[in-house]
Structure 1
Amino acid sequence: MTRPVIIGLTGSIGMGKTTVAAMFEKAGVPVFDADAAVRAMQGPDGELLPAIESAFPGSTGPDGVDRDALGKIVFGDKEKLAKLEAIVHPAVGRKRAAFLDENAQAPIILFDIPLLFEGGGNKAVDVVVVVSAPAQVQRERVLARPGMTEEKFEHILGLQTPDAEKRAGADHIIDTGTSLEETKAQVQAIVEQLRSAMADNG
């Protein structure tokens, strides 16, 4: 049985990845959103709460993980961040495997993974799509977010693989520094190209 072609979608903060993932979904491609899976598992009654509370006492409450409290604990501390990732990453992997099983009949599926390159996930997908925009556009978008500061932005950038490296490792680059219509056309072109390649190979 042929399995779906797996697209790995990634992009640095503020590049418009969420918008592009939604466009793929509208084009009929099932999307696994790693961030959404994490939010659900860390939300009220989330399955990761006991392990996170045990590792970082005081970081959870009735509404799930207190992101500010947990952020203060792990921010800038590599060991604590690694401890948190050791709880979260395997759980996300299990959710992703379940999603793959559920959508085994789909010709193409998409994994929306912010840290695709950082976690080595680019080796586990068939096609890497990087969402990118000019640095100035990225900065303006990110600094417009509530609670975002220059310091936080620089810290996040420091944790992420630089945009130029991501672009170099991409099979396709989607430029979101253009209009939504133009971005949508880029998404559609990739989907059509993959479908026609599959038809040729099928």
Structure 2
Amino acid sequence: MSRPLILGLTGSIGMGKSTVAAMFAAEGVPVFDADAEVRKMQGSGGELVEAIEQAFPGSTTPDKGVLRKELGAQVFGNAGMLATLEGIVHPAVAHRRAAFLTENAEAPIMVFDIPLLFEKGGAETVDEVVVVSAPADVQRERVLARPGMTTEKFVHILGLQVPDAEKRALADHVIDTGQPLEDTAKDVATLIDKIASNRGERPL
């Protein structure tokens, strides 16, 4: 049996990437969410809490694990501190990803959920890229509905991300989340069938 085909799932803020990731999972496709793994490892009792506390004193508590605000205050704008943090987190994520690959070695397709795939790189770790996209007005409405979000913050975040049009141009596949959820789910299932049929397999 050939190795799994790895899809890199990405999309700008508010485009519905997490929703689409859940749709892939519902279709039986294994999904590796690096951010979720980091949250687990930095949560209460997580394997990275002790190392982060040693490197960044006062950034954790026993009951909550890593305090993102406190840690961010120490790291923000300090390249050396950021490199130290990445030196703790990245190897742990790589280990989790390797374990995920081993556990799902027989799956025909798997998904790597990579929010900043184009911004920070990651295309070399996947076979094909799926971009989740919606009209700009829908994106804006979704993001501004988030607690604590402001227009200024939204504009700043957009400025840090590769424009949606560029992402779609670079994608192998585009999933539209500006339509009803059931239609998006159908598009996800159709994409899985298309890819799997080319390999003579189906996840379920």
When normalised by structure 1's length, the TM-score is 0.90
Q: Structure 1 residues 185, 159: closer, same or farther in 2, change over 3 A?
A: same
Shift of 1:126: 0.9
Instruction: Provide the C-alpha distance between the structure 2 equivalents of 1:136 and 1:50, rounded to a whole number of angstroms.
Output: 43
Shift of 1:148: 2.1
Shift of 1:164: 2.1
1:113 aligns with 2:114: yes
Q: Structure 1 residues 133, 77: closer, same or farther in 2, change over 3 A?
A: farther
Tell me which stretches of 4 or more aligned residues in structure 1 moved more than 6 Å. none
Report matched runs for 1:52-131 at 5 Å: 52-62=52-62, 63-131=64-132
Please list the CA deviations of residues 106-155 of structure 1 after superposition, one character each: whole Å capped at 9, or x if unmatched: 11111111122223211211110010112221121112111223333333
Equivalent residue of 1:178, what SS? coil
Deviates more, 1:76-85 or 1:168-177: 76-85
Report matched runs for 1:124-143 at 5 Å: 124-143=125-144
User: Size of the alignment, in residue pairs?
Assistant: 200
1:30 aligns with 2:34: no
Instruction: Provide the C-alpha distance between the structure 2 equivalents of 1:168 and 1:73, rounded to a whole number of angstroms.
Output: 37
Instruction: Provide the C-alpha distance between the structure 2 equivalents of 1:65 and 1:119, rounded to a whole number of angstroms.
Output: 23
Please list the CA deviations of residues 12-60 of structure 1 after superposition, one character each: whole Å capped at 9, or x if unmatched: 1111011100101111101111111010011001111122222322111
1:16: which partner in 2?
16
The one-letter amino acid of 1:66's match is L
1:48: which partner in 2?
48
Shift of 1:194: 0.4
Equivalent residue of 2:87, what SS? helix
Equivalent residue of 1:46, what SS? coil
- Structure 1 unaligned residues grouped into runs of 5+: none
Instruction: Provide the C-alpha distance between the structure 2 equivalents of 1:114 and 1:92, rounded to a whole number of angstroms.
Output: 15
Instruction: Provide the C-alpha distance between the structure 1 equivalents of 2:42 and 2:134, rounded to a whole number of angstroms.
Output: 30
2:169: which partner in 1?
168
Instruction: Provide the C-alpha distance between the structure 1 equivalents of 2:14 and 2:76, rounded to a whole number of angstroms.
Output: 20
Instruction: Provide the C-alpha distance between the structure 1 equivalents of 2:50 and 2:153, rounded to a whole number of angstroms.
Output: 28
Instruction: Provide the C-alpha distance between the structure 2 equivalents of 1:164 and 1:77, rounded to a whole number of angstroms.
Output: 32
Deviates more, 1:84-93 or 1:186-195: 84-93
The one-letter amino acid of 2:74's match is I
The one-letter amino acid of 1:111's match is F
Shift of 1:83: 3.5
2:152: which partner in 1?
151
Equivalent residue of 1:13, what SS? coil
Shift of 1:61: 1.0
Q: Structure 1 residues 39, 3: closer, same or farther in 2, change over 3 A?
A: same
- Structure 2 unaligned residues grouped into runs of 5+: none
Instruction: Provide the C-alpha distance between the structure 2 equivalents of 1:31 and 1:65, rounded to a whole number of angstroms.
Output: 24
Deviates more, 1:43-52 or 1:15-24: 43-52
The one-letter amino acid of 1:118's match is E
The one-letter amino acid of 2:3's match is R
Instruction: Provide the C-alpha distance between the structure 2 equivalents of 1:47 and 1:155, rounded to a whole number of angstroms.
Output: 33
